Structure 1
């Protein structure tokens, strides 16, 4: 089966399972979404959602966040992994946004110029806050794309490019969320039963299926 044909069938399944996938990170505006996504690096969305209500109650705009200061930001996010670095980046980025006029600009180059913001974070903000078509790749999407044979890319950027080629542009914003939810619910990284998975059961590459079988035999 060609990649495009496989992607079309996968899309039908994902639309049936998650017709309107919600944004997993709690936020009140594009700026707080930007902060939440930046804080989610190497941390679960659930943990970020536990921490950000107090942070956003204290500062929900770049101006307020910059005035809060890096030390106070750190106090509010200390439970998160890499908290000291994240606190410095959030504070620095707030200052950069203030200097640029105080608003989060829906432009990839601008977003990626901010402290602590890489391609994935910028893509999430563009797609989820502004509706700009983007296909940011997280660990769930990277893993699924390889398992399903939609990409053999060794980097998130290469996987992103491959997925953008096989899925229609009009579906990107919901499709990347759908794959995240699917990965969490049906397609875990370890001890995954391929034959019981709604997608891996028929879409998995021989290499991925063989690796899963070897792992199950070891377990």
Structure 2
């Protein structure tokens, strides 16, 4: 199938140096709130890129659960492939794609596990079904069919019928501490606007325009 003629011309908006907040977290908040106002589906969905010990890159989509100046937090099974990759090489990349706004945000940094208390606080805020679901899957392992997951869920419903669902020991959060944050705005003729915040030796942020 030839897709060479399939293209969109990005004409919605531009991005200049004067538009940018000196703090990339505040700039991210501005764009994230605009994505919410546009009712973009799952605006907190982000791709997480990791590298295996063999050097093979992997990519998957997870949900950002909260963020601040210290980093961007997501949750996962600590036996998953992504967790194994992070244990070997904590350098990761995140990407948010908001096509309705013709925008991307790309974050590069290091991932580290968050504390147990922080994990518990979030876990207790999850719907009951999501709490049970965390117990049901050894993420990334091979299974013979969906029936295994359904039987495991029934087992967990019986096991935790009388009280709160505890946090699994193999489940928790990662905080990605950014070293670079790039804001990408689509423009006509593929001459997109790109600005990259990079953390310098004083832990302040330098901002540079990048060629599209």
Task: Give the TM-score normalised by the residue count of structure 2.
Answer: 0.25
- Which has the larger helix fraction? 1
The higher radius of gyration belongs to: 2
Structure with larger RCO (C-alpha < 8 A, sep 6+)? 2
- Which has the larger strand fraction? 2
